[in-house]
Amino acid sequence: MSGGSVTDLLELDGVSRVYSSRRGFLGSAVAVRAVDHVSLRVAAGRTLGIVGESGCGKSTTGRIALGLERPNRGGVRFEGQPMPAPGSAAWRRMRARMQLVFQDPLGAMDRRLTIAAQIMEPLTIHGIGSAADRRERVAALLRDVGLRPDHAARHPHELSGGQRQRAVLARALATDPALLVCDEPVSALDVSIQAQVVNMLTDLQAARGIAMVFISHDLKVVRQMSHEVAVMYLGRVVEQGDPEAIFAEPAHPYSRALVSAIPTPGPRRQARIVLSGDPPNPVDRPTGCAFHPRCPVAVAGCRVETPELRAMSDGRKVACHLVQDTTRIAA
């Protein structure tokens, strides 16, 4: 348990993750900064949403938060303690307190094991309870995620996509974690099922006080789930703050394009901003502000100097040379 201090549950301090990659076959090795100087905090019982497109570093950030990857720079603290070395006994103990839920429930499950056996597995691994306790616990977990007792004896392929995602959640909840890192947990689900799972996550958070890092490319779902949101682009956080404020009036030119790109039924509130070009490959990271080649408002300085994430008067943070204050968003 935490030492009772008012520290955040999870703290990422200036973390960077650099991979070594080759430019083409037999090419020279280049450093790829998947995550570049990211600082994030998640308080107990709260949800931090991370949005961005493929390659923005949102999944790597989630894996760093769980200690599945070590940052090259910066530090991760969980319940006030620095992250132990992966694989160590201390790390395994900590891992029982933080769990990962990702997009593909079938890939996350062992096809040969029944649902009950999969949910029981973490209890056995972490030596929680007696055999009888565990069986009782599995039954309670199934109930909590809205599965029927008869689902326990089934195999993953006998469940629907939504039911499988519920089973994966039950397994993640088995060790009573304080933090869930959810990486695109509802992206593979149909709209009607997605709403069921989103509501269930909200209910579980309210009932158990679980903190969440909710990673998704779907801004609508992130808005629904999050107390705070971070928009990432090419390894860096470009805007961070209250989801209501950011999605209603995004300040960073990238957030603005992202928000305007969401197709929604009903009348469109703002003109769509169609960015030119693809998100650049992290291997060929542009100089200065990494967004400048696609930015509709970039000026010469953006090519040279990387903007820092600065606090605005309304509490959000924005990394853009052109955004002086969010009370008067630069056009």
Partner 1 sequence: MDGIGHRAETLVALRGLTVAFQGVPALRGIDLDVRRGEAVGLVGESGSGKSITWLAALGLLPKSARVSGSVTLEGKELIGAAPSVLDEVRGGRIAMIFQDPATALNPVHRVGRQVEESLRLHRGMDGAAAAAEARRLFDLVGIPDAGRRRHAFPHEMSGGQNQRVMIAMALAGQPELLIADEPTTALDATIQAQILDLLRRLQAESGMALVLISHDLGVVADMCSRVGVIYAGRIIEEAPADVLFAEPAHPYTRGLLGALPDMVGPRRRLLAIPGGVPEPWNLPPGCAFAPRCAEALPACSASVPVFREAGHDHAAACIRVGVRENVPA
Contacts to partner 1 by CB under 8 A: 53-54, 160-163, 190-196, 198-199, 202, 217, 219-221, 223-224, 247-248, 257-266, 268-269, 272-279, 294
Torsion of CA 230, 273, 319, 13, to 10 degrees: 20
In the complex with partner 1, the residue whose CB is nearer, 109 or 258, is: 258
Distance, CA of 18 to CA of 36 (rounded, Å): 8
CB of 31 to partner 1, least distance (A): 22
In the complex with partner 1, the residue whose CB is nearer, 72 or 260, is: 260
Which two three-digit tokens encode residue 122? 């973490």
In the complex with partner 1, the residue whose CB is nearer, 53 or 121, is: 53
In the complex with partner 1, the residue whose CB is nearer, 51 or 120, is: 51
CB of 258 to partner 1, least distance (A): 6
Q: Is 130 exposed, middle or buried (0-12, 13-18, 19+ CB in 10 A)?
A: exposed
CB of 259 to partner 1, least distance (A): 7
CB of 51 to partner 1, least distance (A): 9
CB of 81 to partner 1, least distance (A): 33
Helix (H, G, I), strand (E, B) or coil at 145: coil
Distance, CA of 99 to CA of 172 (rounded, Å): 6
In the complex with partner 1, the residue whose CB is nearer, 3 or 27, is: 27
What is the C-alpha radius of gyration for the chain, rounded to an integer number of angstroms? Answer: 21
CB of 199 to partner 1, least distance (A): 6
Task: Please list the residues that pair with 290 across neighbouring strands.
Answer: none
> Helix count (H) and strand count (E) of the chain?
10, 12
CB of 303 to partner 1, least distance (A): 19
Distance, CA of 166 to CA of 154 (rounded, Å): 13
Neighbours of 23 (CB within 10 A): 11
CB of 295 to partner 1, least distance (A): 12
Distance, CA of 250 to CA of 240 (rounded, Å): 10
- Of 53, 90, 83, nearest in space to 69 by CA: 83
Residue 259 corresponds to which amino acid?
Answer: V
Q: Is 270 exposed, middle or buried (0-12, 13-18, 19+ CB in 10 A)?
A: exposed
Do the beta carbons of residue 173 and residue 119 sit within 8 Å? no
- Of 77, 80, 59, 79, nearest in space to 17 by CA: 59
In the complex with partner 1, the residue whose CB is nearer, 133 or 158, is: 158
In the complex with partner 1, the residue whose CB is nearer, 74 or 279, is: 279
CB of 93 to partner 1, least distance (A): 36
Distance, CA of 241 to CA of 239 (rounded, Å): 7
In the complex with partner 1, the residue whose CB is nearer, 120 or 170, is: 170
In the complex with partner 1, the residue whose CB is nearer, 261 or 311, is: 261
Helix (H, G, I), strand (E, B) or coil at 21: strand
